[in-house]
Each structure stands twice: as structure tokens, then as C-alpha cells.
Chain A
Amino acid sequence: MMREPSKDGRLKETPSQTAGPYVHIGTAPQSIGREPLANQPGPVAYDGPDAITIEGVIYDGAGEPVRDAMVEFWGADAQGRVGEHGLFGRATTDFKTGEFSFRTVKPGQMREGLAPRIDFLIFARGINLHLHTRIYFPEDRDLIHDDPELKRVAPKARATLIADRIDGGAKGAYRFDVNLQGDNETVFFDV
């Protein structure tokens, strides 16, 4: 039944199902006016003086903001270290505006040649298996250009992965909008 091995002797991964419109109950109770559980990940992974803010909207194929999504972010620390040093958090999109916002550190380079990035997952009603994209930073254009990971992404599509600096915003404020469909569809990964 559930653990039937496949031909190669491996078990099959449990299939995904949509997180649905009530994802907040289990993953972000503060967004529906409840107390979060102890140590539940939230939108602030780091709040030191050098913290960065990333905000944005996820647009559907009709150009409407997705107002019931839960997003997760995972990135290296400022020295490029992952594992126990990595920074993780989650945010929800606003029920009225669709805006999400989170705070973390600008990640360092994990390795020579790799541009700093934050991995970004989207869970929502209508999304059957979470979508996985990456947030790169506009000040790292040279590293992005040379990153072997991104060579297989056409330059125009690559631009969908690079956050904008918010002019006149707080220091370290970035904008990262996501388009689920359309001419400017965001690049999603199967990692």
C-alpha cells in the first residue's frame, strides 16, 4: 500500500497535494490572529542592524495578486555557510494586498563561482506541488552572469530571478515579484 517499493527497490515519494486556502492554521497562525506555536518559523529570520527586507507580490495568470499563499525562504548566512548556519523563515501574503515581506541576512557566497541566493518556495491553493524559485541580488550582476548554475537559463528569463533594490527604501530593502504565468513568467526549478 503506502510503502510498496518500485522496480529499483526504492520506495516512492509521498505525492504532494495543495496546501489549500487554510494553510495559515498549521503554518502561520499569527496571520489569522492566533498565537504562533513556540519557536515556529516566522517572517523574521534575522533582525540585526545589517538585516535585509525582501517584499513582493505573487501574480496569477490574470495579473491578480495571490492573497492566500505561504512562502518559505532558506539561505546561507553572511559568510556563505549553510546547514545549521542557514537562515530559514516563512511569511504569508496579505489577505487584501497580496504582499509578503520577510527579513533575513544577505547571504554570502557558498562557493567560488556561485552567486549568493535565497531559495524561495511558494505554497497555495491551486498550487499542487510547491513552486521553487531563487532570489538573486542586483548588486551581484557579474557573479550572476558567470554562475554556471544559471547558464541554462536564458538572459531574459534570468532577470525574473533578480530582486530589485527599492529606491528610497530602507537600507537593504529589495522587491521580488513573482509571475506564475505570462510573458514574464518567473523561472521555477526542479532541484
Chain B
Amino acid sequence: MSELIIFISLMLTGYIFGQMAERGHYRSILRREEAFRERVLLMPVRTPPPLQRGCTTRLVTGSAVISVDYFKRFVAGLRNLFGGRITTYESLLDRARREAILRMQKRAHAAGATMVVNLKLETASISKGIGDSIGSVEVLAYGTAIIPHREP
């Protein structure tokens, strides 16, 4: 009986706090994406466009580790029985990826860059939970910031 109570309370806390964290995070992601969209252009192309004459380059990175909550893990466990899309994990990875890109953009902007080329993303699950379930994921975004020289 007591086990059931613990389980239900963990599910509830996971659901409530997880949802709160996720909604807050999405709001902040959308706001910052809007702010950076025009200032730092992102390009996943391998070479910079040939329009810059004088510019310096710098490697910029941004990363985020986001943890899954108890409720999400349980839902994903159920999904594993039936198959299909695990939307709870999809949103987790989406958040981590967008957060990592935003952090990279912020650093590039601080360095005076106007664009980031050759954007690469890398995902790693860094801590495994019970039975190889995902505990938390790290997403790293990196690219080359193109910093134009100031006109003298």
C-alpha cells in the first residue's frame, strides 16, 4: 500500500513540476529565439558565403543537459509496450536542442559575430536510469562564428 502511495506521489510531483518546467522553458526559448533570429544567422552549410572580405572566425559552442521527469519516464515505459511516438521524449530533446543552439548564438553574439556557419548538433545520453531508460540527455551545438571586421 505504502509503495503505491509513494508511486502516485512521485508521478504527481513529476507531472506537475515537469509540466511547469517545460512550459516555462518553452516560453523562454520562444522569446530568445525571436530576439536572436535577425542578429545571428544560422547556417548549416560547410563553407561561409563568399561575400565577406575581412573577417575572423571562432569556434563557438553551446550545450544543455536536460533531465526527464518521473511522469515522462513512466509514460515512455508504457509506450515501449505498445510502440509508437514517445512525445514526452520528443519534447525533451527538442528543448535541449533549441536551448543548446540559443546558448551558442548568445556566445557568438557576445563575440560580435553576425552568422554561424557549419552548425553541427550532437546528442548524448549521459546518465542512464534503471534498465537503460534515459535519465538525462546532453545536446551540444557548435559551429564557426563569422566575425566581420569593423570598418575603420
Pair from one complex:
no
Task: Name B residues whose Cβ lies closer than 8 Å to a Cβ of A.
Answer: none
